[in-house]
Amino acid sequence: MFLIAYPRGVATYDLAALICHHGTAGSGHYTAYCLNYLNDQWYEFDDQYVTAVDAEIVRNCEAYVLFYRKCGDEMIKKRQCAVELMKRSQNEGLLKFHISKQWVNKFNNFAEPGPISNSDFLCIHGGVPPQKATFAEELCTIIPQAVWEYLHDTFSGGPPCTHLYICPICQAEQNNLNEKRKRELEEFTALNAAFQRLENPSVVYAIGMNWFKIWEIFVCKNGEVPGPIDNSAICYVKNNQAVLKQGSDFCSMSKEMYQYLHNIYGGGPDIILQPTAKVSSQSSTTSNPGQSKSLSTVSNHAQVHTSSKMNLSSHSHTLPCSNSSKSLCDPEHGKNPTLTENTEISSPDQNVPILKHTKI
Ligand SMILES: [Zn+2]
């Protein structure tokens, strides 16, 4: 028997797949060949067509990108050992263990699967995160105690899991977060309703739409908790005061609304818009219910409250007028006829959309 002696530490790799390019440098078409290890058959992938092909065709094609799979005799032995253990210990041992399907896939295919990682279905406390409760069982598979011990001794990692339960610590955090979302949405909506009732607010604040959208997703769509308010992209500093940049994407709100958010999240800088008494003759004063949009669907174009008495600079988004907490979230709110879209207005000093507070 003839054995090739590889130097220690030298790994070997098997060709697993390749991409071919057909055509010229300017245009063309890509196809792929991939090996199925289960039946040792090569397949050609050409758009929606998958065809079994002879290895000779693969050998003679003009490859563009080659994919190799690291070979490891050690892993073959470990897989065989695990399979044997599965057969023998199916009805042994008091405990059954849950293990990540994703890691098992690595174990079945990789030369170096790395430590067991159950963190795709377990939280750091060892329970199931509440948001994964409905599908956690699909993320893991059950193995006998002996197989777990073998895998854990061989690859380390974890954490071990013998029972799927919703983590009470994460659940409490989730409940607190939901309360925070509800409270902030309700209070902000009430403040916005009060703002809409003001005919001539003396002070109006600007807040960057980018930050506001993150907060909106947090309260309306269970998004992540926003960081501090960030108005840095929509203003510059002049005489120690933040001045709104022309053309910025922002929304205007009352002092109370801004301070409510600022007290919770901090950040800034504070941008105070000083309304003037001017009314642009180019302003749109026609409310069109068909074009109205809620804040959740506003575009980058200027949003204008109709029949305004104030001039404010830049591309402003006004907030929806509603006494309902649904106002920020509900697509149906788009039927609320308080906003008119795509209305650009110029003023003597800057290009300004006009803000109007319509009583509803
Ligand atoms: Zn937890």
Q: What's the CA gap between 317 and 94, in Å, rounded?
A: 63
Task: Output the CA 104–ligand 1 centroid distance in Å.
Answer: 23
Give distance in angstroms: CA of 171 to centre of ligand 1. 7
Has residue 251 got a pLDDT over 80? yes
- Whether the per-residue pLDDT at 203 is higher than 80: the answer is yes
- Highest mean pLDDT of the ranges 194-198, 242-246, 300-304: 194-198
Residue 247: predicted pLDDT: 82
Report how far residue 222's alpha carbon sits from residue 179's, in angstroms, rounded to the nearest whole number.
Answer: 11
251 Cα: distance to centroid of ligand 1 (angstroms): 37
Q: Which range is least confidently modeled, 107-121, 179-193, 257-271, 298-312?
A: 298-312
Q: Is the pLDDT of residue 280 over 70?
A: no
CA of 217 to the centre of ligand 1 (A): 23
pLDDT computed for residue 69 by the predictor: 86
In single-letter form, the type of residue at position 180 comes to K
Q: How many CB atoms lie within 10 A of CB 313?
A: 21
The predicted structure's pLDDT at residue 7: 57
Answer for the pair 220, 161: CB distance below 8 angstroms, yes or no: no
Ligand 1 mean position, distance from CA 224 (Å): 17
Q: How far is CA 49 from CA 39, 44, 59, 277, 347, in A?
A: 19, 8, 20, 68, 60
pLDDT beyond 50 at 94: yes
Q: For residue 167, how far is its CA from the centre of ligand 1 (angstroms)?
A: 5
- Residue 109 Cα to ligand 1 middle (Å): 30
Spacing, Cα 173 to ligand 1 middle (Å): 9
Q: How far is the CA of 158 from the centre of ligand 1 (A)?
A: 15
Is 283:333 a contact under the CB 8 Å cutoff?
no
Q: How far is the CA of 126 from the centre of ligand 1 (A)?
A: 6
Tell me the CB-side half-sphere exposure of residue 255, using CA atoms within 13 A. Answer: 9
